Structure formats: C-alpha cells, structure tokens
C-alpha cells in the first residue's frame, strides 16, 4: 500500500484520527472490558446500597436468596442486568476512544455523518431485512428459537428484551465492532481482511450454530455498509431494524 493510499484510507475510514496499532488495539479491547466491568459493578453496588437503605440488609439478602425459587423475577432481573452490561460496554468504548483522541474520538468509532453510498446501502439493507424475516420464520417453523423467551411474556420482561435487542445491542455492538475495531483494523488492512475479521469476531460472541444463520449475513452487510459510508450511524439503524424484525417474529410465534 503506497503512502497516498494509506492517507486516503486513514482520511475516509477514520476521519484523520490515528487508531492504535494491532497490539494497542488488543490492549484497548481488554481495557474496554475492564472499564465496563468496573462501571457495571459500581452501578450494581449503588443499587444494592439503595435497596439496603430502603428495605434493610436482612430483607435485601432474603430477596436475592429467594430468586432461586422465583424464576419470573429472576428472568426480569437477568434482562435488566443485560441492559446494564450493554450500557457499561458502550460507555467504556467511548471512554477509551476519548482517551486516545480527545477531540476526534467520534472518528475512531466512526460516529460521523454518512459520507456517501445511500442508494447502494439502501438496496443492501432491504435485502438483509427480507432475509431476516424469511430466516426467522423458517427457524420458528422448525421450533428453533434463537431468542430465549422462556420466562413469562409480561410487559416489563418483553419491554426490557425489546430494549436490549433493538436499542442497546445495536448501539453497543456497532460502537465496538464497526466502530472501534473496524477503524483500527482498516487502518492497516484491506477491506476484505477487515470485513472478514470483524464479521467472524461478531459472530463468535453470538455463537450458537443455528444463530449463525442470522448473524453472519448481518455481519457482512454491516461491514459493507460501514465501508461504503465511513459511518456507523446507518449500521446502527440497520442492526436495530434487523433485530426488531427478528424479535417481532419470535414474539409472534411463541
């Protein structure tokens, strides 16, 4: 890759901000996980302190001990815990990006206006959403559910699940995969290598054989759109729309 090509890739894909090298990228991902764990622990600790102050220590302890027998409440709390983890990971990613480039951190996670390619990405988005509907219906007809909805489908539980899948997951996962990770890899590798690396890493965190039918096509489409537009804003929108289709079909076919 000549110097002009390197400059073009840096300018278009990272907005002029300088990403970490490979070693730094790996360290930064560990840092994101560690910071997220600390943030989640702080919030969880504050919640426990608040419960202890309102209910008393003994009643708070009894409440959590009773969860082993109260599956509906345990399911709701688990869903809320996932919300907390997503929020912590998104916050940690922004913290690390701001540490690297205080005034250009949005470029490092590609949280920028869409540069180009609306017509091309629109056609890809439509095809991906059609695929999401067909694949979800096929899995439902085989009684294979890719979303665990074993708990009671009350308003709080369903609302929290929809929040996680349609809002929290798209924002957090796009910040990390098509934002931070994609920018770092694309600075040093070609489109094909970066696309395959981020797609398979994305699939790895969703690992479940039948789930791959849904995840891998989405991952490749999101990577393509990220490359075409230089932004994660359209990938967040597509990711959210995709998950909304999948969750809606899952709920309707329970």
In this prediction the pTM is 0.88
3-state secondary structure 160-190: HHHHHHHHHHHHHHHHHHHHHHHHHHHCCCC
Closest by Cα among 175, 176, 188 to 9:
188
> Where along the chain do its domains lie?
3-252
3 state SS of 113: coil
The closest of 116, 133, 134 to 242, measured between CA atoms, is 133
Burial 184-212 (b: 16+ CB within 10 A, else e): bbbbebeeeebbebbbeebbeebeeeeee
Question: Helix axis angle, 212-229 relative to 191-205, nearest 10°?
Answer: 140
CB–CB of 244/136 below 8 Å?
Answer: no
What's the pLDDT score for residue 180? 97
Residue 3 CB contacts under 8 Å (≥ 6 apart), including other chains: none
pLDDT for 207: 76
Measure Cα distances from 58 to 61, 64, 132, 221 in Å.
5, 10, 48, 51
Q: How far is CA 227 from CA 159, 222, 235, in A?
A: 33, 9, 10
| pLDDT value of position 139 | 81
Q: pLDDT by residue for the chain (254 residues), tens digit each? A: 443 344 344 444 555 678 888 999 999 999 999 999 999 999 999 999 999 999 999 999 999 999 888 888 899 999 999 999 999 999 999 999 999 998 899 999 999 988 666 777 889 999 999 999 998 888 877 654 444 444 445 788 899 999 999 999 999 999 999 999 999 999 999 999 999 999 999 998 887 777 777 899 999 999 999 999 999 999 999 999 999 999 999 888 87
What does the pLDDT look like over 235-246, one tens digit per residue?
999 999 999 999
**pLDDT, position 14:** 52
Lookup: tokens for 74: 């345990």
Angle, vertex CA 185, rays to CA 241 and CA 165, nearest 5: 20
pLDDT reported for residue 201? 94
Q: What length does the chain have?
A: 254
Residues in Cβ contact with 251 at an 8 Å cutoff, skipping those fewer than 6 apart: 149, 153, 158
Contact 235, 221 (CB under 8 A): no
Nearest to 244 by CA among 150, 170, 169, 165: 165
């Amino acid at each position: 890759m000549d110097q002009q090509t390197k400059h073009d890739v840096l300018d278009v894909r990272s907005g002029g901000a300088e990403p970490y090298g490979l070693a730094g990228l790996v360290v930064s991902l560990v840092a994101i996980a560690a910071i997220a764990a600390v943030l989640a622990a702080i919030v969880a600790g504050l919640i426990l302190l608040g419960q202890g102050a309102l209910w008393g220590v003994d009643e708070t302890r009894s409440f959590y001990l009773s969860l082993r027998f109260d599956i509906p409440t345990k399911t709701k709390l688990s869903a809320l815990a996932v919300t907390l983890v997503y929020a912590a990971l998104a916050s940690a990613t922004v913290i690390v990006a701001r540490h690297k480039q205080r005034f250009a951190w949005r470029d490092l996670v590609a949280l920028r206006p869409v540069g180009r390619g609306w017509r091309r990405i629109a056609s890809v988005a439509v095809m991906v959403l059609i695929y999401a509907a067909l694949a979800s219906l096929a899995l439902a007809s085989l009684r294979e559910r890719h979303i665990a909805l074993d708990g009671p489908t009350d308003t709080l539980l369903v609302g929290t699940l929809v929040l996680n899948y349609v809002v929290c997951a798209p924002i957090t996962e796009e910040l990390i995969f098509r934002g931070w990770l994609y920018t770092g890899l694309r600075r040093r590798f070609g489109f094909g290598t970066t696309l395959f690396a981020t797609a398979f890493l994305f699939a790895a965190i969703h690992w479940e054989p039948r789930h791959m039918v849904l995840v891998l096509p989405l991952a490749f489409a999101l990577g393509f759109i990220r490359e075409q537009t230089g932004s994660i804003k359209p990938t967040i929108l597509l990711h959210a729309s995709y998950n909304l289709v999948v969750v809606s079909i899952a709920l309707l076919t329970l």
